[in-house]
Amino acid sequence: MLKKHPLVGFALFGVVLFLLSNRVDELRVFQGATVAIYVIAIASIILLTGYSGQVSLGHGALLAIGGYAAALARIHWGAPVWLTFCIAVLAAALGGYLLGLAAARLSGPYLAGTTLALAIGLPSIANQFPLFGGEQGLLYDIGMPPASLGEDFTQYKWYFWISSLAALISIYWLRNVMNSRYGRNWKAVRGNDVAAELAGINVGRNKVLAFTVSAGLAGLAGALLAMTISTVSPGAFPLALSFSLATGAVLSGVTTLGGVMIGAVTLVAIPEIVDTVVHRFETSENIANNLPGLLVSTLLILTVLFVPNGPVEQMRARHEKRAKR
Amino acid sequence: MIQFFNMLLIGIGAGSIYALMAIAMVLVWRSTRVINFAQAGMALLSTYIGFELVQKTGNFWIALPLAMVLGALFSALVEILLIRTLIKHSTSGPVAGIVPIIATLGLLGLIRACIGMIWGNQDIQIQPPLSKVGFKIGEETIALSPMNLLVLLAVLGMVVILGFIFQKTSLGLSLRASAYSPEIAQLAGIRVGAIRTIGWAIAGAAGAAAGLLQTVNGTGAVSPDSLEFSLLLTFGFIAAVIGGLESLPGAVLGAVVLGLVLAVVQIYISGTLVFIVAFALLLLVLLVRPQGFIGVKAGRRA
C-alpha cells in the first residue's frame, strides 16, 4: 500500500514524528529539528549532484541567502512567518539561477571550486553593508508558538514541528519532481549529455533549472536554520557548514533521495557520540575539539573509496544482482 | 603616485605567494586530473612542520627547505595511498566526476583535525627571519620590506627552477608527456605512475613554501582555523583557473593578476570585499574566456 500511495507513507511518518516529539526531552526535539533542516539541505545537494552531475561545495552560501532574505522580510516588512519562508525560497532560487547560468558552462572541479569561492566570499558582503547587520547579524524571531497548542508547548517543539513539516513536504514534492518530465530530463543529462541533447533536451536550460530548484530548497533550509538560532549572521553559515552538507550528501548517497536521512542523522549524531566518548575517556581538549572533524573526514574518505554511490544504492545494486541469479 | 606604486608592490607580493599555490594546483591537475582541494591543508601541515623545525634549529633558512622536502614526501604519500586507490576503484557513472573532489575535501578535513589534535586550535607564532619595516625612498616608506623582497626573490627563484626542469630536463619532458597523454607516454617507456607521484611531490614542496612564506610574510601567526588558509585555498585555485589550469606560466600570470586586482580593491575600496571580488573575477574569466589567460579550448574538458 505504501508503494502505491507514497503520500500515505509520508503522512504516517509525520504522525510518528508528532507522537515522538511529545515523548522525548527538549534536547532531542531540538536535534530532531536540526535533522529535518539537514534533510532539506542535503536533498538540495543530492538533487544537484546526483541528478545533474554537478557538485556544489558552497551550499552554505545559498542557505545564507535564504536566511538573510527571511530575516530582512521579517524585520522590514513584518511579513508573517510562512511568507518569510516563501521569500527565502524565492531569493535563494534567484541567486541559484544566476549562479546556475555560470555553472551550466562549468564542469566538475571548476564548479566545485567556484561555489567554494562563493561560500568564502559571500559572508564578507554581510560585513560590508550595514543593511545586513555586520558580524552580529540580524534578529530573526518567529514568535511564540500559538497559544491554542497549550501552555507547556515549548519553543523547540514548535521549531521541530515547522522544520519536520517543511522537510516532509519538500521531500514529497522533490520525489514527485524526480518522477516527472523534469526529473527524467535531469537523469538523461546526468547519464550522457550528448545523447540527451540529441534526444531534444536542452542541456543548458535543464542544468540551470536543477540549480535553481536546488538553491530554492537550500534557501528554505537556511531560513529554518536561522529560525532555530533566532539570528542570521555570517558566523552561522561558515565554510564548515558547506562542507558538512556536502559530506552529508555523500554519506547519504548522491544518486538517490532514499538515503537522505542517513547523512542528516550522521551529521547530528557525530558531535553527540564524540561527547560521550570524551566524557568516558576524559581526553584532552585538543582531541575533544577535533574528534568530530576527524570522524566526519574519515567517514567521507572511506565512503567515497568503497561505496561512492552511497549505502542505499549499494544495497539496491546488490539486491538486484542477487535477484538476477 | 606613491600610493599607486605601493599598490603595485603589495599586489605583486601577494600574487607571488598565490603563484606558488597555483603552481601546486596546476602540477597536480596535470599529473592526475585532480583538483587538490586539500592543497591548502597540506601547505598548513608543512607550515606547522616548519614551525617545529624553526623551534628546533632556530634558523628559518634551514627550516624552509627541510619543510619543503617533508611536504614533498607527504604529498607523494597522499598520491600513492589515496589517489592511486581512488583511480583503481574508479567507477563510471554520475559520481565518477565528483569522487576526487570529495576525497581531497575529506583529506583537507582530516589534516585540519589532526593538526588541531597535535598542536591545538590556538595560533602559533613564527618569527620572521628578516625585518618587516619597509625600505625608504627619500622621506617615504614604501610597501616593500627586506622580508617582502626576499619572498619575491625566493618565489621567482623557484619558478625559474621549475621552468628549467620542465623545459630542459628529461624529467620535465616525461612530466609534460604524461600530462599530455598518459597512454602514449607509457608506450614511449615512461613510467607514468612514478611520474605522477613526482608531480605530486613537487606540488607538495611548492605548497609548503607557499604556506611558510605566506605566514612569515603576513602576521606570523597561524592556526588551523586561520583566515590565511581559506585565503591560500581559494586564491590558489582561482589563480590557477584564470591562468588556464594547464600551464605554469599561466598560473603565475593568473596569480599576479589576482594579486593586483585584490590590491586595488583593498586600497581603494575595502579590505573586506577581497573574497567576493576574487569570486567575481573567477566567474568573469570563466564566462568570458573559459580556457583561461593561457590555455587551449580542448584542455578544458574535465
- DSSP one-letter string for A123-139: HHHHHH-GGGTTTT-EE
| The pLDDT of residue B210 is above 80 | yes
Q: Is residue B53 a contact partner of residue B62, using CB atoms and an 8 Å limit?
A: yes
The set of residues, in sequence order, having a beta carbon less than 8 Å from that of B143 and lying 6+ positions away, is: B6, B7, B9, B10, B13, B134
Tell me whether residue A188 is in a domain.
Answer: yes
pLDDT in tens, A298-312: 988 888 888 877 777
List the domain range (segments joined by +) for residue A49.
Answer: 6-238
In chain A, which stretches have pLDDT less than 50?
Answer: none
- Phi, psi for B181 (deg, rounded to 5): -160, 100
| Residues 82 through 101 of chain A touching chain B, CB cutoff 8 Å | none
User: Between A and B, how many residue pairs show a Cβ–Cβ distance under 8 A?
Assistant: 169
Task: Report pLDDT digits (tens) over B151-165.
Answer: 888 888 888 888 888
Which residue in chain B has the smallest CA separation from A299? Answer: B106
Least CB–CB distance from B283: residue in A57, A102, A255: A102
How far apart are alpha carbons B244 and A236 in whole angstroms?
34
Query: A294: which 3 cell numbers?
Result: 576527524
Pick B117's closest partner by Cβ from A190, A286, A300: A286
Residue B61 grid coordinates: 633558512
Searching chain B, which residue's CA lies closest to the CA of residue A51? Answer: B94
Q: Which residues of A touch B102 (CB under 8 A)?
A: 55, 246, 250, 300, 304
CB of A176 within 8 A of CB of A158?
A: no
CA distances from A150 to A143, A145, A164, A223, B119 (A): 15, 9, 20, 26, 51
Residues with Cβ within 8 Å of residue A206, at least 6 apart in sequence: A52, A182, A185, A186, A189, A196
Q: Which of B89, B119, B282 has its CB closest to that of A117? A: B282
Provide the chain A residues 180-199 that lie in CB contact (below 8 A) with chain B.
190-191
pLDDT at A90: 92
| Domain assignment of residue A169, yes or no | yes
Q: What is the pLDDT of residue B301?
A: 40
Least Cα distance to A253 among A297, A171, A311, A299 occurs for A311
Q: Do A243 and B109 lie within an 8 Å CB cutoff?
A: yes
For residue B71, the model assigns a pLDDT of 93
DSSP A149: G
Rg for chain B, CA atoms, rounded: 19
Residue boundaries of the structural domains of chain B: 2-300
Please judge whether B272 and A293 are an interchain contact, meaning their C-beta atoms are less than 8 angstroms apart.
Answer: no
The cell for A34 is: 536540526
Count of the separate structural domains present in chain A: 1
The partner residue sitting opposite B98, judged by closest CB among A108, A110, A121, is A108
- Choose the mutation target among B44, B87, B101, B297 for the interface with A, i.e. most A CBs under 10 Å: B101
Q: What is the pLDDT of residue B257?
A: 92
In chain A, residues with a C-beta closer than 8 Å to the C-beta of B233 are: 116, 120
Measured CA to CA, the distance from residue A317 to residue A256 in angstroms comes to 12
Angstrom CA distances, B151 to B16, B215, B216, stand at: 8, 11, 9
B127: distance to nearest CA of chain A, Å? Answer: 24
Q: Is residue A229 part of a domain?
A: yes
User: Across chain B, what does the average pLDDT equal?
Assistant: 83
pTM of the model: 0.86
Please give the single-letter amino acid code of residue B201: A
Selection from A58, A38, A316, A143 nearest residue B234 by Cα: A58
Residues of B in contact with A293 (CB under 8 A): 109-110, 112-113, 116
**How far is the alpha carbon of A117 from chain B, nearest alpha carbon, in Å?**
6
| Relative orientation angle of helices B192-217 and B227-243, to the nearest 10 degrees | 130
CB A207 within 8 A of CB A103: yes
- Residue B221 backbone phi and psi in degrees, to 5: -100, 145
Looking at the partner chain, which of A109, A246, A305 has a beta carbon nearest the beta carbon of B302? A109
A120-175 confidence digits (pLDDT tens)? 888 778 777 777 777 777 777 777 777 677 667 777 888 888 888 888 888 889 88
d(CA A205, CA A52): 11
* Best mutation target, B18, B30, B95, to test chain A (most A CBs within 10 A): B95
In the numeric block, the cell 577581497 is attached to B274
Question: Looking at the domain assignment, is residue A87 inside a domain?
Answer: yes
> Which of A120, A192, A244, A312 is the best mutation test for B, with the most CBs of B within 10 A?
A120
Q: For residue A284, tell me if it sits in a domain.
A: no
Kindly report the length of chain B.
302
CA-nearest residue to A239 within chain B is: B230
User: Which residue in chain B has the smallest CA separation from A251?
Assistant: B102
For the segment B194-203, the average pLDDT, to the nearest whole number, is 91
Give the whole-angstrom CA distance, residue B145 versus residue A62: 41
Q: Please answer yes or no on whether A109 and B102 come within 8 Å at the CB atom.
A: no
Q: What share of chain B is helix, strand, coil (3-state, %, to 5)?
A: 75, 5, 20
CA distance A26 to A30: 6
Q: How many Å apart are CA A179 and CA A274, to the nearest integer? A: 39
| Residue among B86, B95, B274 minimizing CB distance to A255 | B95
CB–CB contact A124 B272 (8 Å): yes
Note whether A114 contacts B: Cβ–Cβ < 8 A. Answer: yes
* Cell numbers that stand for B6 in this block: 605601493
Nearest-Cα distance to chain A for B95, in Å, is 7
ipTM, interface predicted TM-score of the complex: 0.83
Mean pLDDT of all residues in B107-135: 83
pLDDT at B67: 92
Q: Give yes or no for A297 touching B (CB within 8 A).
A: yes
Res B302: pLDDT:
38
| CATH number for region B2-300 | 1.10.3470
Q: Are B101 and A108 a contacting pair at CB < 8 A? A: yes
Comparing A251-265, B17-31, B283-297, which segment has the lowest mean pLDDT? B283-297
Residue A184, C-alpha cell as written in the block: 527524467
Q: What pLDDT score does B68 carry?
A: 92
The amino acid that residue A48 corresponds to is L
